[in-house]
Structure 1
């Protein structure tokens, strides 16, 4: 299993140091995410300070951009990184697309499918495989002149991963993407009951097999060196899970365990701004089902138990309480266990 993580970049200037640290630890890949900073710029810097680490966006917000813009970014990052780039795309939610990015939100699954197909059509043109002639419901790309055609990429086009949670967006990944990024608000049961069947529906629609796509599970890891630090990490995780659990879109994970009433209460409290009360509702049973929790030496085996038979790669994550050493001992133990 490949081991990835997202780099906690409060200061983008740290990219030249953090991604090199991840490579030295033994991670297979280090990803950026779109929050306070652009997700591509840090990776361009990281590419100059690493040699083997896979670099990707997990995720860049697709609907805030257009296929031609994303095609250029992905193509250039693939070249700069010497073939180590992954273009990871996600949809975000409607209020952010419309009110933060002033962009269009509609038919998110269909729009994401079309974005991926349009990017691939643009790359096919640049690779010399076909003229640019993409006409879809949302995007139209039919003009490419030599002045704007970069020509074949020396490393080939990068893979496109798409993130998702619901069955429609998950099926899109199965149909058109090279990889799928599963949301951390999942349990083993919800991945088996909800995610994999939807992914298989998409694969079947395009005539592909499970081996044609990489499934990457972002997994919330809660561990520490001391009891005090572990308690703080658990509290941060409970707050994050309470926020997710209050959101209707994430109800299927709770429903897989018969916890629908928890969602109703979390949603009610969120509307009243009672965040501390929400956190108190995330008991140990829920925390341990969704997150991987334990002493540091326990985490590798618990990750294997959680994801075996489901994922091709895992992304260790806990952005609200990042591990100061980037789970170095966990990664090394997992790597040693594979030998």
Structure 2
């Protein structure tokens, strides 16, 4: 399994030195996400300061943009990184698309499928110099004057990864994407019973198998060196899990662990702003089903045990108190993976 790290910066100028440090520490990839800052700009600085590490948007909100804009950004970052860029896309949820981004929302799975197909049509036109003629239900791209068309990218188009939680979006990922991004809020049962079967159905539509695509999984990890730090990590993770569990889009995860009834209670508390109270509703059984908490060695062993053989790349995320502790987790993870290879 490859190990990726978050590239969290408040200022894009900080992304270059941080990415260089992550590469020196042996990470296989670094990812940004659509949050307080744009996910694309920091990767331009990261590309300039690295040579080997893959650079990923995990995720950029597709429906906040349009295929032509994303195609240009992806093409530029693929050039800057010399072929190391991975375009990770996600749909976000209706309220954000309509009220935060002021963009249309409808049929998200079908729209995402068409979004990716439009991207590929645009890139193909640039690579081959053929006329652009994409006509879909949601997107239409039929104008590309030669003066505005980029030259063929020497590294080819970037790979496209799609995030999905529900079965419809996950199936789309299998059908049209090069990789699948697993949301950090998940359980082993959810992966086995819902996500991976949906992915396989999508892959079957195009005559492919699971080994033909890369599966990337963010993992909720809380780490500590002693009982006090571990309890602090558990408290922080309860709050994060409660936030996810209050969101309707993530109900399938709760259903996978027979906790669907918890969603309504948490959703109601969130609307009342009772965030601290929400965390108290997350008991140890639920927490351990969707997160991994322990010392660096314990967390590493649990990650390898739970994800080895199903995930191609992983990224510990969640609550790790300081950079030194995060480095210990990653070092322990490397040792655990090496041990598992030797005993396989």
Q: TM-score, normalised by structure 1?
A: 0.95
Q: Which residue of structure 1 aligns with residue 326 of structure 2?
A: 327
Task: Tell me, yes or no, if the aligned pair for 1:54 and 1:84 is still in contact at 8 Å.
Answer: yes
Aligned residues: 338
The alpha-carbon deviation at position 288 of structure 1 amounts to 1.1
The alpha-carbon deviation at position 335 of structure 1 amounts to 3.1
Range with bigger deviation, 150-159 or 259-268 = 259-268
The alpha-carbon deviation at position 323 of structure 1 amounts to 4.3
| Distance in 1 (alpha carbons) for counterparts of 2:326 and 2:83 | 26
* Aligned counterparts, 1:45-64, within 5 A: 45-64=45-64
Q: Which residue of structure 1 aligns with residue 266 of structure 2?
A: 266
Residue deviations 1:105-133, cap 9 Å, x none?
11111111111111111111111174322
Q: Which residue of structure 2 aligns with residue 43 of structure 1?
A: 43
| Distance in 1 (alpha carbons) for counterparts of 2:101 and 2:146 | 31
| Distance in 1 (alpha carbons) for counterparts of 2:325 and 2:152 | 36
Residue deviations 1:278-320, cap 9 Å, x none?
10111111111111111111122211112123211112112x6
**Which structure has the higher relative contact order (CA within 8 Å, separation 6+)?**
1
| Distance in 2 (alpha carbons) for counterparts of 1:268 and 1:182 | 26
Task: Tell me, yes or no, if the aligned pair for 1:187 and 1:253 is still in contact at 8 Å.
Answer: yes
| Distance in 1 (alpha carbons) for counterparts of 2:173 and 2:90 | 11
Task: Tell me, yes or no, if the aligned pair for 2:71 and 2:123 is still in contact at 8 Å.
Answer: yes
Task: Tell me, yes or no, if the aligned pair for 1:78 and 1:157 is still in contact at 8 Å.
Answer: yes
Shift of the 226–15 alpha-carbon distance from structure 1 to 2, 3 Å rule, reads farther
Aligned-partner SS, 1:221: strand
Aligned-partner SS, 1:325: helix
The alpha-carbon deviation at position 195 of structure 1 amounts to 0.3
| Distance in 1 (alpha carbons) for counterparts of 2:258 and 2:145 | 56
Q: Which residue of structure 2 aligns with residue 243 of structure 1?
A: 243
Shift of the 7–322 alpha-carbon distance from structure 1 to 2, 3 Å rule, reads farther
CA RMSD of superposed structures (Å): 1.7
Shift of the 326–123 alpha-carbon distance from structure 1 to 2, 3 Å rule, reads farther
Q: Which residue of structure 2 aligns with residue 225 of structure 1?
A: 225
| Distance in 2 (alpha carbons) for counterparts of 1:267 and 1:280 | 14
Q: Which residue of structure 2 aligns with residue 193 of structure 1?
A: 193
Gaps (5+ residues) in structure 1?
none
Residue deviations 1:234-279, cap 9 Å, x none?
2221111001111222122111121122223222322332222210
Residue deviations 1:115-172, cap 9 Å, x none?
1111111111111174322111111112222211112111111100111100111001
